[in-house]
Amino acid sequence: MDNSPCTVVECLYRRTPFLTTNVGGIAELIREHDELAGPTAHELAAKLEHVLQHGHRPYTPTCSQTEAARDLVALHQDMHDSAVARAGRAPSIPAAGAKPAPLVSVCLLHRDRPGGLRRALEGFASQTYANFEVIVADNGSSSPPARTYLAEIEVSSPFAFPIKVVRMGYNAFPGPARNAAVRLARGEILKFHDDDNISKPNELEVLAGAIERGFDLVTCGLDFFEAVTDSGPRPSDRQLMFMGDGGGLTLLRNVVGDTNLAIRKSAFLEIGGFDDIGYLYEAEDWHFLAKAQTGGLKIGTIPEALVWYRVDAEGDRRNWRRQDVDGIRSRIASTLAQGMPSYVGGLLDYLAGRSEGGSARSGLDQAIDLADRRWVMAQLASNNCLPSRTSPYSLAGVRQRLFNNAPSLEAVGWDELIPTLKAVGISIPDDFDEERYLADNIDVADAVREGRFKSGYMHYLCYGRLEHRGRPTK
């Protein structure tokens, strides 16, 4: 199941004969990839039978360990040389007649952190990208040092790039403050930034380049730091990377990116900007990115940390909003459900409130299991096959669960449904791939042919789920 298993590599270089299926990146590791079995039970069984009868020679790796080591060192050397060249390069100036670089408007959120604001501005002063402006959205700073520094940069800025200051006058919360900065932005590309983060020299160049290549919104990795010394941010042992468009995983956790993102201004306006709901809520970045995904924006991510991101572990522990995972996920679900059929929206709401902060797979399995139970109960109820009316799972009670309160289906376990299910036959749902289930499980196909099971789906419900045989969908 691994994409590129170490076990395969170890067997290859030890010249140990082994069998594997053609999944993930395994075929890229083996020169004789045409000989690999397909990832189904009967194909693997056929390959194993052939090997036991005729023997099996060791596979050959597609490249030697020496070649792999040499190529890996060369890759890292190229990356290092490119980074050194970017860091020492002066801001690029378009050649005569060339298309000018688009104007980037940096929308910088600030509140009572003059030292952080100064470091953030210094980070932009060292950019390899020249065509940008900075709009500082002051979200109600009240300390004299903060007000003094804002007045200084507004009147006589020491920086070469244009700076504007928009004062909210009170703590309007991050979303409205960012939106206010956008209203002053002249650039066709917006880049959002907070006053406790520090941009790396190539950040604007890389993000603007990605937007120019066709993305509507681009995120990037984060290098965490906890303090700043005379030589710059002191790195922590943490780094965070994202996926860009996260598909269904966006419901379970924020895999798309951080507020430190670049977006076309037209796309930002199209999805309605950041939320202004009159109070502070957690995960505004996650919700904004879910809106972008639902709105059909082309989202990408840079697999490189382009910014230093300040982390306050103690502050996170004190922030009760960060602990409200169900509330956060509920907002994300309602956003992702927009434009989807109502039953999909209900399923998202179920996942948002019920899946236990684990993997996306566990949440998906829960949803599939719920759908199967609902299917079985609906048919058993319509055929009066459920337990007697004295049972807590009476016909009337089940119908109420089915049509009025779906989450309480969790109270009806398979152990109570299966004894009845084995005695009757039910139809196969449209999304279950009966043909593939039988092809993947030859023993089940034989049992169905001999009449021991009415269908592959019946076998899956009674036994296949517990045996982790997989539920193929059309």
Output the pLDDT for position 389: 42
pLDDT for res 82: 81
Q: Which helix (H) or strand (E) holds 235?
A: strand 232-240
Per DSSP, the three-state class of 295 is coil
Dist. CA 163–CA 187, nearest whole Å = 13
* 207/112 same-domain check: yes
The per-residue DSSP string of 257-270 comes to --S--EEEHHHHHH
CA dihedral of residues 392, 398, 404, 410 (deg, nearest 10): 70
Contact partners, residue 65, CB within 8 Å, separation at least 6: 13
Identify whether 337 is part of a domain. Answer: no
Q: Could you give the CA distance from residue 264 to residue 215 in angstroms, rounded to a whole number?
A: 8
- 144 & 36 share domain: no
Residue that terminates a domain, selected from 323, 346, 372 = 323
pLDDT over 60 at 7, yes or no: yes
- Residue range 421-432: average pLDDT? 80
**Of 245-259, 266-280, 355-369, which gets the smallest average pLDDT?**
355-369
Q: Are residues 312 and 375 in the same domain?
A: no
Query: Same domain, yes or no, for 316 and 401?
Result: no
* Lowest-confidence region among 116-120, 302-306, 418-422: 418-422
pLDDT of residue 418: 80
Please give the average per-residue pLDDT across 72-76, as a whole number: 90
Residues 155 and 286 in one domain: yes
Q: Quick: pLDDT tens for 18-44.
A: 999 999 899 999 999 999 999 999 999
Q: Cα(137)–Cα(177) distance, rounded to whole angstroms?
A: 6
Judge whether 338 lies within some domain: no
Pair 178, 305 in one domain: yes
Judge if 17 and 138 occupy the same domain. Answer: no
User: Do 108 and 191 sit in the same domain of this protein?
Assistant: yes
Q: Does an H or E element contain 164, and which?
A: strand 163-167
What is the structure's pLDDT at 384? 55
User: Is 472:368 a contact under the CB 8 Å cutoff?
Assistant: no
Lowest mean pLDDT among 184-193, 231-240, 263-272, 320-329: 320-329
Structural domain contains residue 396: yes
- 249 and 393, same domain (yes or no): no
Three-state helix/strand/coil letters over 103-116: CEEEEEEECCCHHH
Encoded tokens for 282:
């957690």
Predicted confidence (pLDDT) at residue 272 exceeds the cutoff of 60: yes
- Rounded to 5 degrees, φ, ψ at 225 are -145, 155
pLDDT beyond 90 at 378: no
Q: How far apart are CA 201 and CA 319, in angstroms?
A: 32
Q: Are residues 190 and 308 in the same domain?
A: yes
In a domain, 59, yes or no: no
Could you tell me the CATH number of the domain that includes residue 151? Answer: 3.90.550.10
In whole angstroms, give the CA distance from residue 387 to residue 420. 8
Statement: the pTM of the whole predicted model exceeds 0.75: no
pLDDT category of residue 395 using cuts at 50, 70 and 90: very low
Q: Is the pLDDT score of 15 beyond 50? A: yes
Amino acid at 76: H
* CA atoms of 139 and 111, how far apart (whole Å): 5
**Whether residue 360 has pLDDT greater than 60:** no
State the number of CA atoms in the 13 A half-sphere of 331 facing the CB: 18
User: Does the structure show a pLDDT above 60 at 124?
Assistant: yes
CB 377 within 8 A of CB 398: yes
67 domain residue, yes or no: no
Q: Where are the beta strands (DSSP E) in 79-216?
A: 104-110, 132-138, 163-167, 189-194, 197-199
Is residue 141 situated within a structural domain? yes
> Which phi and psi (to 5°) does residue 114 adopt?
-60, -35
Mean pLDDT of the chain: 82
Domain that holds residue 369: 360-464
Least confident residue range of 155-164, 252-261, 407-416, 460-469: 407-416
Average pLDDT over residues 183-202: 96
Number of domains, the chain: 3
Is 354 inside any structural domain? no
Q: Is residue 336 part of a domain?
A: no
**Residues 138 and 188 reside in one and the same domain:** yes
Give the per-residue pLDDT at 95: 57
